[in-house]
Amino acid sequence: MSSTNPALSRRDSDIGALGEDLVSRWLQQQGWMVLYRRWHCRWGEIDLIARWDPTGQSPGQPVLAFLEVKTRSYRNWDADGLLSITPKKQQKLWLSARSFLGDHPDLAELPCRFDVALVCCRRVPVRHIQPLPIVQEQERPDPMKSVIQLGQPVVAGSYQLVLQDYISGAFDR
Region 21-49 average pLDDT: 97
Whether 147 maps to a domain, the answer reads yes
Whether 134 maps to a domain, the answer reads yes
- For the entire predicted model, the pTM comes to 0.80
Residue 14: give its domain's CATH number: 3.40.1350.10
Rounded CA-CA distance 65/111 in Å is 9
Whether 30 maps to a domain, the answer reads yes
Q: What is the pLDDT of residues 89-122, one digit of tens each?
A: 999 999 999 999 999 999 999 999 999 999 999 9
Give the residue, 35 or 8, on which the prediction is more confident: 35
Whether 1 maps to a domain, the answer reads no
Number of domains in the chain: 1
Q: Which domain holds residue 34?
A: 6-172
Question: Which range has the worst mean pLDDT, 46-50, 93-97, 145-149?
Answer: 145-149
The candidate with the shortest Cα–Cα distance to 48, out of 116, 109, 146, is 116
Tell me whether strands 112-123 and 63-73 are parallel, antiparallel or unpaired: parallel
